[in-house]
């Protein structure tokens, strides 16, 4: 009787464990961390993102310290507008400038050539926008509360309003910024195209001045864009309800705010999905 022996496993016959595949969520989180690290290395961009809203709040808050009503100081009104302006800056303005730059230096083309799902790139940008917006708002609240005595919301309903206006506005600005990046020919010209438009929207949308003091024909223009509605939504969360009658529309107009922001969000998603270019010659 002969014994049969099993030959030792060779490199050809040995079974190697299959590489562990990351889930889409973990890939998105990893891309978000990478975007945050890259943002932290850009000191000029970090300083502008966090310091510019604080500087504007300090300048206008110190120059105009009067009361708009017996219950509302101008600094309270200004804080709501600066928060909305910050969301537009970190979402719309930042992405509309950085995406063309990454397209020019072939970073987008290299990313598109990898097996990575392309949605991961956009998820990383959204994580960057949300994280920087949250940090920016926190700093604004600290300065406004400690230095200017601006009261913050105390009721859960007001914080809920603040949350849905902030999230919807941030998403709308980010998607529109990504969509607009397709219309910019080069990263070198991106800032010159985007910055003047963003500044104009801030001044006609009730960010630095009371919206009711803006000329009527400019208000019609401002009402077409998200910034005016974000600022008004933030005022509904940060100001007492007694101020609602002072608004141009005679109230907070929450349904109109949600409708306009949702419309811009959908428009940005559709345009970016159909027209986004991963290379300069695409």
Chain segment 19-72, per-residue pLDDT in tens: 455 789 999 999 999 999 999 888 877 888 888 999 999 999 988 888 999 989
Alpha helices in 89-155 (DSSP H): 94-104, 107-112, 119-148
Asked whether residue 18 is domain-assigned, the answer is: no
| Strand ranges in the chain using DSSP code E only, listed in sequence order | 67-69, 72-73
pLDDT in tens, 128-168: 999 999 999 999 999 999 999 999 988 999 999 999 999 99
Q: Closest Cα to residue 230, out of 198, 250, 257? A: 257
Asked whether residue 16 is domain-assigned, the answer is: no
Residue with tokens 């300069």: 280
Other CB atoms within 10 A of residue 20 CB: 5
What is the Cα–Cα distance from 34 to 133, expressed in whole angstroms?
A: 17
Asked whether residue 47 is domain-assigned, the answer is: yes
Number of structural domains, the chain? 1
Asked whether residue 3 is domain-assigned, the answer is: no
Asked whether residue 76 is domain-assigned, the answer is: yes
Lookup: tokens for 150: 């601006």
Q: Mean pLDDT over residues 176-201, rounded?
A: 90
Asked whether residue 34 is domain-assigned, the answer is: yes
Torsion of CA 77, 54, 64, 227, to 10 degrees: -40
Helix%, strand%, coil% for the chain, nearest 5: 70, 0, 25
- Residue 155 DSSP symbol: S
How far apart, in Å, are the Cα atoms of 92 and each of 69, 171, 183, 188, 197? Answer: 33, 9, 14, 17, 11
Q: Which long-range contacts (CB under 8 A, 24 or more apart) does 211-220 make?
A: 211/247, 211/248, 212/246, 212/247, 212/248, 219/248
Q: Closest Cα to residue 241, out of 140, 117, 155? A: 155
Report helix angle 187-204 to 74-88, nearest 10: 150
For residue 72, the cross-strand partners are 69
> What's this model's pTM, rounded to 2 decimal places?
0.89
Asked whether residue 6 is domain-assigned, the answer is: no
Asked whether residue 147 is domain-assigned, the answer is: yes
User: What percentage of the chain exceeds 90 in pLDDT?
Assistant: 70
pLDDT in tens, 53-68: 999 999 999 888 889 9
Least confident of 16-20, 21-25, 94-98: 16-20
Query: Confidence class of residue 282 from pLDDT cuts 50, 70 and 90?
Result: low
What is the Cα–Cα distance from 248 to 241, expressed in whole angstroms?
A: 14
The range of the structural domain enclosing residue 109 comes to 24-275
- Residue 93 DSSP symbol: I
């Amino acid at each position: 009787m002969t014994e049969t022996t099993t030959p030792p496993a060779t490199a050809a016959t040995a079974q190697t464990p299959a590489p562990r595949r990351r889930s889409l969520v973990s890939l998105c989180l990893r891309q978000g961390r990478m975007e945050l690290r890259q943002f932290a290395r850009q000191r000029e961009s970090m300083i502008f993102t966090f310091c510019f809203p604080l500087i504007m709040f300090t300048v206008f808050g110190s120059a105009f310290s009067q009361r708009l009503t017996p219950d509302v100081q101008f600094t309270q009104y200004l804080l709501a507008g600066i928060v909305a302006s910050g969301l537009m800056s970190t979402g719309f303005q930042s992405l509309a400038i950085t995406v063309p730059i990454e397209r020019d230096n072939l970073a987008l083309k290299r990313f598109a050539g990898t097996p990575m799902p392309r949605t991961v790139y956009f998820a990383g940008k959204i994580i960057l926008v949300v994280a920087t917006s949250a940090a920016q708002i926190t700093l604004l609240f600290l300065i406004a509360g400690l230095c200017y005595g601006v009261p913050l919301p105390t009721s859960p309903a007001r914080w809920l309003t603040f949350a849905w206006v902030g999230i919807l506005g941030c998403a709308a600005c980010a998607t529109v910024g990504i969509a607009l990046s397709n219309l910019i020919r080069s990263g070198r010209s991106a800032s010159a195209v985007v910055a003047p438009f963003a500044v104009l929207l801030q001044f006609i949308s009730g960010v630095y001045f009371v919206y009711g003091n803006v000329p009527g024909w400019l208000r019609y223009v401002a009402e077409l864009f998200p910034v005016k509605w974000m600022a008004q939504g933030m005022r509904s969360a940060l100001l007492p309800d007694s101020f609602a009658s002072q608004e141009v529309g005679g109230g907070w107009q929450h349904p109109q705010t949600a409708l306009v922001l949702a419309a811009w969000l959908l428009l940005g998603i559709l345009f970016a999905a159909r027209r986004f270019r991963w290379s300069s010659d695409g």
